[in-house]
Amino acid sequence: MERIDVNLGDRSYPISIGAGLLSDPTFFSDAKGRQVVVVTNDTVAPLYADRLLETLRKAGGLPALLTLPDGEQYKTLETFNTINTFLLEGNYARDVLIVALGGGVIGDLVGFAAACYQRGVDFIQVPTTLLSQVDSSVGGKTAVNHPLGKNMIGAFYQPKAVVIDIEVMKTLPAREFAAGMAEVIKYGIIVDSAFFAWLDENLDVLNQLDSSALVYAIKRCCQIKADVVAEDEKESGVRALLNLGHTFGHAIEAEMGYGNWLHGEAVAAGTVMAAKTAQIQQLLSQEDVSRITSLLEKANLPVKAPASMDYDAFIKHMKRDKKVLSGQLRFVLPTSIGTSEVVANVTSETLAEVIKTH
C-alpha cells in the first residue's frame, strides 16, 4: 500500500493506493460511530456497493445507500438535489459522513453536495475509474454541469480521505481505462518528462493491468497533483496547468452533448490541439507534437476533434472557460515534454488554423 498526503494545514488528508482497500475497514476509520451515506451509480452499485457497506459496518459506521443513474448527462443540479433530498428525508445531521463510490461524475456530485449540505459535511472519495483515481478525486474541485458549460456551478471542498483500490480496474471497460490514460499522460506532458518516457515504454504493461505498474502510475499522478494543490488550492496560479487540453476538450464535450464523448477522450483531442497551438506560437517543436500525438494514439484515444465542429462552435464554448480573464481566452500550452505555461496571447488566426486542421 502506498500513501500520499495532500498538505493543506488542518484540512490535510491522505490518499491511500493499493489492492483490496475496499474490503479493509482500516481505511474507513472516519465512519466509526457515525451515520454514513454511500452514494454510487447503477453501474458501480452491483459490483462494489455491498462490499463497501460491509466494510463500513466493520469500521463501526451505520451505512445507507443511494444509487443514482450513471453518466455525465446526470451531473446536474437536479441530481445534486436528489442527494440533498435523500439526506433531508433521512434526517441526517451535520456529523453524517458521505462516501462517493464511483467515477468523476459521482465524486464531483457528492463533493458538491457535501460542501453545501448544512453548510458542509465530511466526505470520502472512493474513485472507481482510472480518470477519477488520478485526477478528479484529488484536490477538492466539486461541481455540476450547466447546459451552457461544464463544471460551472461548484465549490472547492476537500475530502477527508481518498481511498484508491486498484482492483476495481478489473471491471472497468477498456474505453473508460483509455479515457483515464488521457489524464495520466497529461501529467507527463505538463511537468514530468521522465514519467512521459516511462509511460511510452510501459503502456502495454499498464493496459494489462499490471499491479505494480498501476500503483506506480497512479501514485505519480496523485503526487504531482497533491504538490500542485498544496501550492495553489484555488487555482490562482500553477494549478491551472492541470487543465492542459481542457479548454478545447470542454468545448467538445459541451457541443457534442455530455456523455457522448468521455471527458478523457475530449481532453486527448484537446491536448493535441493545444500542442499544435503551441507549435504555431513557436513554443513547442514538431517532434514533441508528434511524440504527444503518438502516445495518445497508442493509448487508444482520439487525437482529432469531431469533424462537425467548426471555429464558431469552439469559440462559443471556450468563451465560457473558467480560465478566461477580462474577456481574454487563456490556454495551457506545452513548451516541451515536461514543461508548460498559461498563454493569453493566442491570436484568432492561430485558433482558426488549429481548428481548421483538427
Active site residues: 119, 141, 183, 225, 235, 239, 243, 246, 250, 263
> Is 74 labelled as part of a ligand binding site?
yes
Q: How many CA atoms lie within 13 A of 253 on its CB side?
A: 28
**Inter-CA distances, 257 with 71, 146, 147, 193, 339, Å:** 11, 11, 9, 34, 32
> Is 183 labelled as part of a ligand binding site?
yes
> Is 73 labelled as part of a ligand binding site?
yes
Environment class of residue 101 by beta-carbon count within 10 Å: exposed (0-12), middle (13-18) or buried (19+)?
A: buried
> Is 204 labelled as part of a ligand binding site?
no
Alpha carbons 176 and 263: distance in angstroms, whole number: 9
> Is 150 labelled as part of a ligand binding site?
yes
> Is 71 labelled as part of a ligand binding site?
yes
> Is 72 labelled as part of a ligand binding site?
yes
Burial state string for 270-306 with b = 16 or more CB within 10 A and e = fewer than 16: bbbbbbbbbbbbebbeeebbebbbebbeebbbbbebe
> Is 317 labelled as part of a ligand binding site?
no
Residues of the binding site: 70-75, 104-108, 128-129, 141, 150, 183, 246, 263
Which amino acids are annotated as binding site for NAD(+), given as ranges? Answer: 70-75, 104-108, 128-129, 141, 150
**Residue numbers belonging to the annotated binding site for Zn(2+):** 183, 246, 263
